[in-house]
């Protein structure tokens, strides 16, 4: 039952990709209808997931498997369990809202169709991550989210800032993706499988394997870059260059959670490693505290939210690192809570930007009267973020404190968490209250409420946070318990409640609020000092290191391009000949090959004539003073070689050689007029050196030919082709049969290369054809046989 | 470039003959000397002879499609010939043959489609490069 539901879900997703491709067309045809129609896809996924929820609550999991590349161990395995389901609900639910919101937010934008298409593609990829059961499959979806994120951050690609941020995000998460792939490969080496349930089943074996720490650290690298953990956190605030709906969806609610999700998914596999807890808790705490202090230095609504997102991700990694059932339960709850309130806050920040034209909290104030719905949504979400009852955020914060109090070093952990939580409260006040009800910093804002598409989605998300908080038992049993069960690997009881009595946690919550609200009121004092502190530290920060690294890499690239790709055809030829001669010559010397001449037929008289023609022509080419004569001489060499092919019974080669020579002459005729006057430019020593290099190349080729003819190792291959050509491939012309059948894939590759070369030549002709510009030599469109 | 009447007249008659010959090379390639690659080269030479003897513009009006479209079509044909066996559950690029040979063409199978693809890519690439050069020349 559940398996068939999962199969339908996967089919819906596959259809979704096709659907996404038509989004731009749909938008052009029906501007108004596009957003609601496109939102139907995430909605359909959402409903399907909801329908599967009861079975998953009963502890069922499902797996659907389609073979893809069985030889590589790559099969399309999809699993549905509590964790994937909850993640999927968030992705699809927020996805539907973001499509609706995006339609209103980017109303009239020329590239709105592209926005729809890429967001839907992203959603499909993200759901793929949530539902993958095979690590390779997960990796494909993982990279797809990086690419769609790149496209969406750079959505307004006319702005250099957006392009730079997109590039940075892609480099950081893409680099992490490579590490992740390596980690997966190591786990596959250990277990012989890419299936994650196989890994989980053999966790004990993995834990003692010497490669396991390396695999863990590589996977952690992938997760840390994706989930913006220190020191890779800097790409996320910069990613705020993206349109706000994208920030809300990718860079707070879903994509950045992929790293956390992966760690949770692999908890049964790697959670037993001794490295797990120290590595994850350190990383998480550093990110949590660092980012929450960085947040206090910001004045832009979106950057404030971005830094608190980073700190929330740090919290999640920290909780996963602790790894106790309580911590895992808290992580599951916090993940859902954060997605709801942060999504709502981002969307309302976008509405504020839309309604006033600014996101600067120093200028914003008192706009709540003009934008009541946005104010309600932001206020409600901020209450959840600050952790006030009866919202979901309150329950999550209580659980966080309960976890830290139970942990190994309660004083230190609780203290650090308190600092971070207080900073979160400060940001909640600055983002959710100050712009709407605070003193206006600027009288020329003219705020106005947008269309329902702009305030409906954030309000819905915020209300959901309230509803889930009001019915804690339902939330706990219905959603958090299956999630935790999937992480732990066995069923878990989750009892959530708003009121626990007078506990230390309640006291800590009150203290957090007090500290936070106090600090928030002192914004004018606090913010500049913290900003100055971080500015002083900036040269040491990872962002600066990143810039230096990228700058160095680019300098290296342009240096080596200038050396190797200098545009002189003669240098290219020289490098190729000398490298080949050096490498092949070295091999011949090292292998200590002795050269004995194989028995040969005595040459016939016409052989002497042909060789004589070739040698004379080759010598005369070097002495020629006229370009036409040179072309004619080169042509006579080519035709003589063709005749040799003919004499030694290779008519196919001869024909091709004739045709190529003919076309080469035509080519030369066409470019002849464009070339500068034929003159001798190189000095005599250079020419002598060239003679030496040419002789080296020629000698090497001769040597190789002699060696090949001595070994005649191809005899068996030739016999095979001769024997099987007619019977297996229906053809008597072995050369052609090899080309189109036995080695057809090679030929397919070759003609593709040929087509690409033609595109290159064409663009060079178009670019270099302008008068006064130097015309480069055009490579021959031939191929070697 | 001064036009030669002799060459122009000869090209008018030679070009179709050479094109027919190139198709002949393509079709018999699987059993006798020939094939898509050399057939394509011959066809390109034929067309180019016409282009040089008369004018690149005349050649352009003679061609029903852009050379670059030929390149794309050729690649598509080669790829299709590879994918057809996949549809029947065999590995990529497995040769499939019709049981009965067709009149004139002879035995028909996916390798012939593949070779036709090669033919079109070669004609397209050579025409694309040479024709752009020739048109630059004419400017």
A397 belongs to a structural domain: no
Mean pLDDT of A729-735: 79
What pLDDT shows up at residue A781? Answer: 40
Cβ–Cβ < 8 Å for A35, A102: yes
- Chain A positions touching B29 (Cβ under 8 A) are 733, 736
CB contact under 8 A, B111 and A729: yes
CB contact under 8 A, B41 and A670: no
Q: How confident is the model at residue A598 (pLDDT cuts 50, 70, 90)?
A: low
Q: Residues with Cβ < 8 Å from A181, sequence gap 6 or more?
A: A139, A222
Structure tokens at A618: 């080759």
Torsion of CA B76, B77, B79, B82, to 10 degrees: 160
Q: How confident is the model at residue A712 (pLDDT cuts 50, 70, 90)?
A: low
CA–CA gap between residue A100 and residue A451 (Å, rounded): 11
CA–CA gap between residue A285 and residue A178 (Å, rounded): 25
Closest CA to A388 of A458, A346, A430, A341: A341
DSSP code string of A576-636: HHHHHHHHHHHHHHHTT----PPP-PPPPHHHHHHHHHHHHHHHHHHH---HHHHHHHHHH
Q: Which of A650, A651, A654, A659 to mutate to test the interface with B (most CBs of B within 10 A)?
A: A659
Strands A74-80 and A62-69, sheet pairing: antiparallel
| Mean pLDDT computed over every residue of chain A | 87
A574 and A595: one domain?
yes
Q: Where are the beta strands (DSSP E) in chain B?
A: none
CA–CA gap between residue A273 and residue A601 (Å, rounded): 71
Of B30, B44, B68, the CB nearest to A733: B30
What pLDDT shows up at residue A467? Answer: 92
What pLDDT shows up at residue A45? Answer: 92
CA–CA gap between residue A673 and residue B85 (Å, rounded): 49
CA–CA gap between residue A245 and residue A97 (Å, rounded): 9
A618 and A717: one domain?
yes
| Residues of chain B numbered 80-139 and touching chain A (CB < 8 Å) | 82, 92-93, 95, 97, 107, 109, 111, 114-115, 117-118, 121-122, 124-126, 128-130, 132-134, 136-137
pLDDT at A400 over 90: yes
| Mean pLDDT computed over every residue of chain B | 87
Of A659, A671, A755, the CB nearest to B42: A659
- Chain A positions touching B111 (Cβ under 8 A) are 729-731, 737, 740-741, 744
Q: Residues with Cβ < 8 Å from A81, sequence gap 6 or more?
A: A56, A61, A482, A485, A486
A759 belongs to a structural domain: yes
What pLDDT shows up at residue A719? Answer: 76
What pLDDT shows up at residue A713? Answer: 54
What pLDDT shows up at residue A779? Answer: 42
Q: How confident is the model at residue B103 (pLDDT cuts 50, 70, 90)?
A: confident
Q: How confident is the model at residue B139 (pLDDT cuts 50, 70, 90)?
A: low
Cβ–Cβ < 8 Å for A751, B89: no
SS3 string of A111-176?
CHHHHHHHHHHHHHHHHHHHHECEHHHHHHHHHHHHHHHHHHHCCCCCCHHHHHHHHHHHHHHHHH
A109 belongs to a structural domain: no
| CA B98 to chain centroid | 23
A571 and A620: one domain?
yes
Total domains in chain B come to: 1
Q: How confident is the model at residue A92 (pLDDT cuts 50, 70, 90)?
A: very high
The parent domain of residue B124 ranges over 5-138
What pLDDT shows up at residue A199? Answer: 93
pLDDT at A594 over 80: no
Give the nearest chain A residue to B138 (CA atoms). Answer: A670
A713 and A745: one domain?
no
Q: How confident is the model at residue A327 (pLDDT cuts 50, 70, 90)?
A: very high
CA–CA gap between residue A633 and residue A631 (Å, rounded): 5
DSSP code string of A22-37: THHHHHHH-HHHHHHH
SS3 string of chain B?
CCCCHHHHHHHHHHHHHHHHHHHHHHHHCCCCCCCHHHHHHHHHHHHHHHHHHCCHHHHHHHCCCCHHHHHHHHHHHHHHHHHHHHHCCCCCCCCCECCCCECCCECCEHHHHHHHHHHHHHHHHHHHHHHHHHHHHHC
Over residues A230-284, the pLDDT tens digits come to 889 899 999 998 999 999 998 888 999 999 999 999 999 999 899 999 999 999 9
pLDDT at A642 over 60: yes
Q: How confident is the model at residue B2 (pLDDT cuts 50, 70, 90)?
A: low
Of B30, B37, B93, the CB nearest to A731: B30
pLDDT at A785 over 60: no
Domain-ending residue, one of A549, A565, A581 = A565
What pLDDT shows up at residue B1? Answer: 53
Q: How confident is the model at residue A715 (pLDDT cuts 50, 70, 90)?
A: low
The CATH number for A633's domain is: 1.20.120
Q: Which residue has the higher pLDDT, A768 or B44?
A: B44
- Chain A positions touching B107 (Cβ under 8 A) are 730
Q: Which of B1, B131, B136, B138 to mutate to test the interface with A (most CBs of A within 10 A)?
A: B136
ipTM of the complex as predicted: 0.91
Instruction: Choose the weakest-confidence range: A73-87, A271-285, A372-386, A580-594.
Output: A580-594
CB contact under 8 A, A745 and B92: yes
CB contact under 8 A, B52 and A666: yes
Cα Rg, chain A, nearest whole Å: 34
Cβ–Cβ < 8 Å for A255, A126: yes
Sign of CA dihedral A739, A745, A748, A749: negative
Q: Using a CB–CB cutoff of 8 Å, tell me whether B55 touches chain A.
A: no
Kindly tell me the burial class for residue A393, based on how many C-beta atoms sit within 10 Å of its own C-beta (0-12, 13-18, 19 or more): buried
Cβ–Cβ < 8 Å for A173, A149: yes
CA–CA gap between residue A156 and residue A762 (Å, rounded): 31
A609 belongs to a structural domain: yes
Give chain B's end-to-end CA distance (angstroms, integer): 12
Q: Which residue has the higher pLDDT, A780 or A201?
A: A201
What pLDDT shows up at residue B121? Answer: 95
A605 and A655: one domain?
yes
CB contact under 8 A, A752 and B75: yes
Cβ–Cβ < 8 Å for A88, A261: no
CB contact under 8 A, B114 and A778: no
CB contact under 8 A, A736 and B115: yes
B133 to A605, B48, B139: CA distances (angstroms): 42, 11, 10
CB contact under 8 A, B129 and A781: yes
A552 belongs to a structural domain: yes
What pLDDT shows up at residue A236? Answer: 92
What pLDDT shows up at residue A173? Answer: 94
What pLDDT shows up at residue A778? Answer: 41
Distance from CA of B81 to the nearest CA of A (A): 10
CA–CA gap between residue A309 and residue A295 (Å, rounded): 9
A325 to A197, A199, A440: CA distances (angstroms): 20, 21, 47
A633 and A777: one domain?
no
Over residues A294-309, the pLDDT tens digits come to 999 998 999 999 999 9
CB contact under 8 A, A652 and B82: no
Helix (H, G, I), strand (E, B) or coil at A231: coil
A640 and A703: one domain?
yes
Over residues B18-72, the pLDDT tens digits come to 999 999 999 888 888 888 899 999 999 999 989 888 888 899 998 888 899 999 9
A615 and A677: one domain?
yes
DSSP state of B97: B
Total domains in chain A come to: 3
A557 and A575: one domain?
no
CB contact under 8 A, A748 and B30: no
Q: How confident is the model at residue A73 (pLDDT cuts 50, 70, 90)?
A: low
Tell me the percentage of chain A whose pLDDT exceeds 90.
48
Q: How confident is the model at residue A727 (pLDDT cuts 50, 70, 90)?
A: confident
A774 and A724: one domain?
no
Closest CA to B1 of A630, A772, A773, A670: A670
CA–CA gap between residue A389 and residue A721 (Å, rounded): 80
CA–CA gap between residue A141 and residue A125 (Å, rounded): 5
Instruction: Choose the weakest-confidence range: A3-7, A117-121, A397-401, B65-69.
Output: A3-7
* Matching residue, tokens 């990228």: A550
Q: How confident is the model at residue A597 (pLDDT cuts 50, 70, 90)?
A: low
A720 and A673: one domain?
yes
Q: How many pairs of residues across A and B have Cβ atoms under 8 Å apart?
A: 142
Over residues A421-479, the pLDDT tens digits come to 999 999 999 999 989 998 877 767 788 888 898 999 999 999 999 999 899 888 888 89
Over residues A103-116, the pLDDT tens digits come to 999 988 888 989 99
Q: Which of B35, B98, B116, B123 to mutate to test the interface with A (most CBs of A within 10 A)?
A: B35
- Chain B positions touching A762 (Cβ under 8 A) are 68, 128-129, 132
- Chain B positions touching A761 (Cβ under 8 A) are 128-129, 132
CB contact under 8 A, B128 and A656: no
- The torsion angles phi and psi of A329, rounded to 5 degrees, stand at -60, -45
CA–CA gap between residue A308 and residue A717 (Å, rounded): 66
* Residue environment code for A143-166, b if the CB has 16+ CB neighbours within 10 A, otherwise e: bbbbbbbbbbbbbeeeeeebeebb
A232 belongs to a structural domain: no
- Chain B positions touching A752 (Cβ under 8 A) are 75
What pLDDT shows up at residue A235? Answer: 92
Helix or strand holding residue A251 (H, E): none
Q: Which residue has the higher pLDDT, A785 or A765?
A: A765
pLDDT at A780 over 60: no
Q: Which of B1, B19, B133, B134 to mutate to test the interface with A (most CBs of A within 10 A)?
A: B133
- Chain A positions touching B134 (Cβ under 8 A) are 670
Distance from CA of A731 to the nearest CA of B (A): 5
Q: Which of A668, A736, A742 to mutate to test the interface with B (most CBs of B within 10 A)?
A: A736
The parent domain of residue A556 ranges over 531-565
CA–CA gap between residue A604 and residue A596 (Å, rounded): 22
Cβ–Cβ < 8 Å for A327, A319: yes
A627 and A771: one domain?
no
CA–CA gap between residue A63 and residue A500 (Å, rounded): 39
Structure tokens at A217: 């650290």
Cβ–Cβ < 8 Å for B57, B25: no
């Amino acid at each position: 039952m559940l398996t068939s539901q999962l199969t339908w879900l996967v089919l819906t997703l596959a259809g979704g990709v096709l659907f996404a491709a038509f989004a731009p067309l749909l938008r052009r045809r029906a501007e108004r209808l596009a957003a609601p129609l496109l939102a139907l896809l995430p909605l359909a996924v959402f409903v399907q997931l909801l329908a599967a929820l009861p079975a998953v609550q009963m502890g069922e999991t499902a797996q659907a498997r389609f073979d893809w590349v069985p030889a590589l161990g790559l099969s399309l395995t999809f699993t549905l369990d509590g964790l994937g389901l909850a993640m999927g609900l968030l992705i699809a639910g927020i996805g539907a809202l973001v499509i609706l919101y995006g339609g209103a937010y980017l109303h009239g934008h020329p590239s709105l169709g592209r926005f729809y298409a890429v967001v839907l593609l992203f959603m499909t990829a993200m759901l793929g991550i949530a539902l993958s059961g095979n690590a390779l499959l997960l990796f494909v979806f993982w990279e797809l989210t990086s690419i769609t994120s790149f496209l969406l951050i750079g959505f307004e690609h006319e702005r250099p800032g957006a392009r730079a941020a997109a590039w940075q995000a892609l480099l950081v998460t893409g680099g992490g993706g490579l590490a992740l792939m390596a980690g997966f490969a190591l786990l596959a080496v250990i277990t012989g499988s890419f299936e994650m349930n196989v890994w989980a089943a053999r966790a004990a074996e993995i834990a003692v394997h010497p490669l396991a720490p390396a695999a863990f650290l590589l996977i952690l690298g992938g997760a840390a870059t994706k989930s913006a953990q220190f020191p890779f956190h800097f790409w996320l605030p910069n990613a705020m260059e993206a349109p706000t709906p994208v920030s809300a969806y990718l860079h707070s609610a879903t994509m950045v959670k992929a790293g956390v999700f992966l760690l949770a998914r692999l908890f049964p596999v790697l959670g037993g490693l001794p490295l797990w807890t120290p590595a994850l808790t350190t990383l998480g705490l550093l990110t949590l505290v660092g980012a929450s202090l960085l947040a206090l230095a910001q004045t832009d609504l979106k950057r404030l939210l971005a830094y608190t997102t980073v700190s929330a991700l740090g919290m999640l990694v920290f909780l996963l690192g602790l790894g106790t059932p309580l911590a895992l339960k808290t992580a599951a709850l916090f993940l859902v809570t954060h997605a709801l309130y942060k999504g709502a806050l981002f969307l309302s920040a976008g509405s504020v930007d839309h309604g006033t034209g600014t996101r600067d909290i120093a200028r914003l104030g008192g706009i709540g009267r003009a934008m009541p719905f946005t104010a309600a949504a932001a206020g409600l979400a901020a209450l959840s973020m600050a952790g006030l009852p009866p919202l979901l955020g309150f329950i999550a914060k209580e659980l966080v404190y309960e976890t830290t109090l139970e942990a190994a070093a309660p004083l230190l952990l609780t203290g650090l968490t308190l600092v971070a939580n207080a900073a979160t409260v400060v940001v909640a006040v600055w983002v959710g209250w100050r712009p709407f009800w605070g003193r206006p910093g600027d009288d020329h804002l003219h705020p106005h409420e947008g269309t329902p598409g702009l305030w409906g989605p954030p309000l819905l998300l915020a209300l959901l946070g309230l509803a889930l908080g009001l019915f804690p038992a339902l939330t706990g049993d219905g959603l958090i318990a299956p999630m935790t069960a999937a992480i732990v690997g066995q069923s878990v009881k989750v009892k959530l409640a708003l009121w626990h009595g007078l506990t230390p946690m309640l006291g800590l919550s009150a203290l957090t609020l007090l500290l936070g609200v106090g600090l928030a009121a002192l914004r004018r004092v606090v913010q500049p000092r913290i900003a100055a502190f971080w500015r002083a530290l900036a040269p040491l920060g990872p962002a600066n290191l990143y810039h230096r690294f990228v700058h160095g890499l680019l300098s290296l690239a342009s240096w080596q391009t200038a050396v190797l790709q200098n545009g002189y055809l003669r240098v290219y030829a020289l490098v190729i000949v000398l490298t080949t001669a050096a490498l092949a010559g070295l091999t011949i010397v090292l292998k200590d090959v002795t050269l004995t001449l194989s028995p040969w037929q005595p040459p016939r008289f016409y052989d002497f004539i042909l060789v004589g023609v070739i040698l004379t022509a080759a010598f005369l080419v070097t002495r020629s003073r006229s370009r036409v004569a040179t072309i004619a001489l080169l042509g006579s060499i080519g035709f003589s070689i063709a005749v040799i092919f003919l004499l030694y019974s290779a008519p196919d080669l001869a024909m091709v050689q004739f045709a190529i020579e003919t076309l080469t002459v035509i080519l030369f005729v066409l470019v002849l007029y464009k070339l500068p006057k034929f003159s001798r430019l190189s000095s005599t020593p250079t020419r002598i050196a060239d003679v030496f290099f040419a002789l080296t190349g020629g000698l090497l080729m001769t040597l190789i030919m002699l060696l090949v003819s001595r070994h005649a190792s191809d005899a068996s291959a030739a016999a095979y082709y001769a024997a099987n050509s007619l019977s297996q491939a229906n053809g008597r012309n072995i050369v052609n049969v090899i080309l189109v059948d036995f080695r057809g894939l090679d030929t397919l590759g070759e003609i593709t290369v040929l087509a690409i070369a033609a595109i290159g030549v064409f663009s060079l002709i178009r670019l270099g054809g302008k008068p006064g510009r130097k015309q480069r030599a055009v490579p021959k469109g031939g191929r070697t046989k | 470039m001064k036009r030669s009447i002799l060459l122009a007249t000869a090209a008018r008659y030679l070009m179709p003959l050479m094109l027919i010959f190139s198709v002949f090379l393509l079709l018999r390639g699987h059993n006798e000397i020939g094939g898509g690659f050399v057939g394509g080269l011959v066809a390109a030479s034929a067309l180019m002879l016409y282009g040089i003897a008369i004018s690149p513009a005349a050649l352009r009006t003679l061609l029903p499609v852009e050379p670059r479209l030929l390149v794309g079509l050729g690649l598509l044909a080669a790829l299709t010939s590879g994918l057809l066996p996949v549809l029947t559950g065999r590995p990529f690029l497995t040769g499939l043959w019709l049981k009965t040979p067709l009149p004139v063409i002879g035995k028909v199978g996916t390798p012939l489609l593949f070779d036709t693809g090669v033919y079109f890519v070669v004609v397209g690439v050579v025409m694309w490069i040479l024709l752009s050069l020739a048109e630059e020349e004419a400017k």
